[in-house]
């Protein structure tokens, strides 16, 4: 890892000005992705601006059926939160199944979303639940936030401050883990919401996306058997040593069925 200057601001305003004053600075949250990237010298920021000392970015609140999670809240805190377990149990379960215990104690929801790994879990959650990502500048609907491979709507110095999830009537996330990394080989989140059924798929393609074919079928008939008749296109599926395109496309259906069954 190359050297850098370290900053630990106490407020969002101080964080943006620290980044603004840097040559090529980056925000640091749990470090569970960024530090590994820096060790491999795939990133070499001149400055790290640690968001860990900003009290406003931490914590979970529920109001009027919406769960709001501060950006630096760890996966372990989301999983253990009685508020999240009560309002959106499928979201608490998703957080409790990210990586391993030590990763969950350090990694944050803001870091995971800003990074937008193609196999990460939270991107599927924000899409399926129709969440809103709040930054220091604006509110971004989940559908506009996820842009591409490791690409989001965030501007260079924009900080995610919190994420708000409207509680669905019911929901379930099923992930087929890549057993070594525990990231999703394929993960499917199904939610019954006020706007009908929403389905999000992660791990399958270059970035998490909604599943319009699955949504149409499930809006007509919310049952696992409805998934059988859906054709999942194989063209854009990720292909790697762990799984080919057809296998991944089939996993989308299998995970979708399991999620529908778990929704009840």
Report yes or no: 158 and 136 within 8 Å, Cβ to Cβ.
Answer: yes
Which member of 99, 111, 168, 171 binds other proteins (CB under 8 A)? 99
CB nearer to ligand FAD: give 183 or 189: 183
238 binds other proteins (CB under 8 A): no
Which member of 5, 8, 17, 31 binds ligand FAD (CB under 6 A)? 31
CB nearer to other proteins: give 4 or 176: 4
CB nearer to ligand FAD: give 153 or 230: 153
Give the integer Cα–Cα distance in Å for 5 and 9. Answer: 13
Which member of 15, 18, 22, 28 binds ligand FAD (CB under 6 A)? 28
Which member of 17, 66, 105, 250 binds other proteins (CB under 8 A)? 105
**Minimum distance from CB of 196 to ligand FAD (Å)?**
26
Contact map string, positions 188 to 227, toward ligand FAD, x by CB under 6 A: ----------------------------------------
39 binds other proteins (CB under 8 A): yes
51 binds ligand FAD (CB under 6 A): yes
Which member of 103, 234, 254, 262 binds other proteins (CB under 8 A)? 103
Binding-site partner at residue 115 among other proteins, ligand FAD, none, CB < 5 to 8 Å by type: ligand FAD
88-120 burial code (b ≥16 CB/10 A, e <16): bebbbbbbbbbbeeebbebbbbbbbbbbbbbbb
Which member of 98, 127, 140, 146 binds ligand FAD (CB under 6 A)? 98
DSSP string, the chain: ----EEE--SSHHHHHHHHHTSSSEEEESS-TTHHHHHHTTS---SEEEEGGG-GGG--EEEETTEEEEETT-BHHHHHH-HHHHHH-HHHHHHHHTSS-HHHHHH-BHHHHHHHT-TT-SHHHHHHHHT-EEEESS-EEEHHHHEEETTEES--TT--EEEEEEEPPSEEEEEEEE-TTT-SEEEEEEEEEETTEEEEEEESSSSS-EE-HHHHHHHHH--SHHHHHTPPPP-TT----SS--HHHHHHHHHHHHHHHHHHH-
Binding site for ligand FAD (CB under 6 A): 26-34, 51, 71, 98-99, 103, 107-108, 110-112, 114-115, 117, 120-122, 154, 159-160, 181-183
Binding site for other proteins (CB under 8 A): 1-6, 8, 28, 31-32, 35-36, 38-39, 48, 50, 52, 76, 99-103, 105-106, 182
């Amino acid at each position: 890892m190359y050297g850098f200057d370290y900053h630990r601001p106490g407020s969002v305003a101080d964080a943006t000005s620290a980044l603004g004053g840097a040559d090529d600075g980056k925000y640091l949250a749990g470090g569970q992705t960024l530090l590994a990237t820096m060790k491999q010298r795939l990133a070499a920021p001149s400055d790290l601006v640690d968001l860990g000392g900003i009290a406003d970015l931490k914590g979970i609140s529920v109001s009027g059926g919406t769960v709001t999670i501060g950006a630096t809240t760890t996966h372990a805190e989301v999983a253990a939160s009685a508020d999240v377990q009560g309002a959106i149990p499928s979201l608490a379960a998703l957080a409790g199944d990210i990586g391993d215990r030590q990763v969950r104690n350090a990694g944050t929801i803001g870091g995971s979303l800003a990074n937008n790994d193609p196999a990460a879990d939270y991107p599927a959650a924000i899409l399926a639940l129709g969440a809103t990502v709040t930054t220091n500048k604006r509110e971004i609907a989940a559908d506009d936030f996820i842009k591409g491979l490791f690409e989001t709507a965030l501007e260079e110095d924009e900080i995610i401050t919190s994420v708000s999830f409207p509680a669905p009537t019911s929901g379930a996330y099923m992930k087929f883990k890549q057993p070594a990394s525990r990231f999703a080989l394929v993960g499917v989140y199904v939610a019954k919401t006020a706007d009908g059924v929403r389905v999000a798929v992660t791990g399958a393609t270059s970035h998490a996306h909604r599943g319009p074919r699955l949504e149409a079928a499930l809006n007509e008939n919310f049952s696992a058997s409805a998934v059988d008749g859906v054709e999942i296109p194989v063209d854009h599926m990720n292909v790697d040593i762990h799984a080919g395109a057809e296998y991944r496309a089939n996993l989308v259906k299998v995970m979708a069925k399991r999620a529908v069954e778990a929704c009840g």
